[in-house]
Amino acid sequence: MDNLTVIKIGGNVIDNPEALNRFLKAFASLVGPKLLVHGGGKIATQVAEKLGIETKMVDGRRITDQPMLDVVTMVYGGLVNKQIVAKLQALDVDAIGLTGADGGTVLARKRPVKDIDYGMVGDIEEVDSGQIQFFLRQSLTPVFAPITYTRGGDLLNTNADTMASAIAVDMVRHNNVTLVYCFEKKGVLKDPADDNSVINELYPSLYADHKAAGTINKGMIPKLDNAFKALGNGVAKVIICHADEVAEAVKQGAGTTLKK
């Protein structure tokens, strides 16, 4: 069974052209089959503002009405995705840019309204790992934008962390999978103000302790929930690291490694 590295890159890195270029060079250097899922960063907000479309956020999550869905589809699935693909081609990586609608790879349903109506936001139902494996067998490197589709043919904005986790879990059918979340921090931190206070290994019980103490909070919690869910569903290893250290993390274990 082949090894496969599934990497998610966060929006803060995408917002910084120099940081993104460094990450893509490191990503290109990784040996073996690999797959990239990217977020959208602040570019969608900037484009929406130019178009006179209001951006609404709740607890860091974007409310996606139809005009905003049009914007994120254009920005995530178009501008950002194709810029990344072009840069990877220049680094001799034969990349193919995708959304979940392409090849029917990631099917979702519209999130039901509970306390908050997030609009055209998708909760993932199925991943077609066979189709993704087909791309990999053609020596292509899939680059996924966080857009999915419904059975009725609608597009949905989807959390990129969740998308990376769902793809990694389904790819376990074909590969020994390592899932890596890359962002602007060196890993999961004991002290959010100290970038060197990295927790090298994190177990569920220790994660619960840090949440109770408040040292792990806010946006890190859904990222870690997705990560531990992936571990529980067959992913061999999950790493959270700085984008500049992705090659080191995959090879030697920089950042935070999650364990069952």
Q: C-alpha distances in angstroms, 66 versus 50, 71, 184, 185, 203?
A: 16, 9, 31, 33, 40
DSSP-assigned letters across all residues of 227-241: HHHHHHTT-SEEEEE
Task: Please tell me whether 62 is known to bind a ligand.
Answer: yes
| Beta strand segments in the chain, E | 2-9, 34-38, 57-58, 61-62, 95-98, 106-110, 122-127, 141-144, 147-149, 155-157, 175-183, 201-202, 237-242, 256-258
Task: Please tell me whether 157 is known to bind a ligand.
Answer: yes
The CB density around residue 259, as the number of other CB atoms within 10 Å, is: 12
Name the token pair of 34.
Answer: 């690999």
Task: Please tell me whether 152 is known to bind a ligand.
Answer: no
DSSP state of 144: E
Name the token pair of 233.
Answer: 């569903």
DSSP state of 189: B
Cα 250 to Cα 260: distance, rounded to the nearest angstrom: 18
Task: Please tell me whether 137 is known to bind a ligand.
Answer: no
Which residues does the annotation place in the binding site for substrate?
40-41, 62, 157
Which residues does the annotation place in the binding site?
40-41, 62, 157
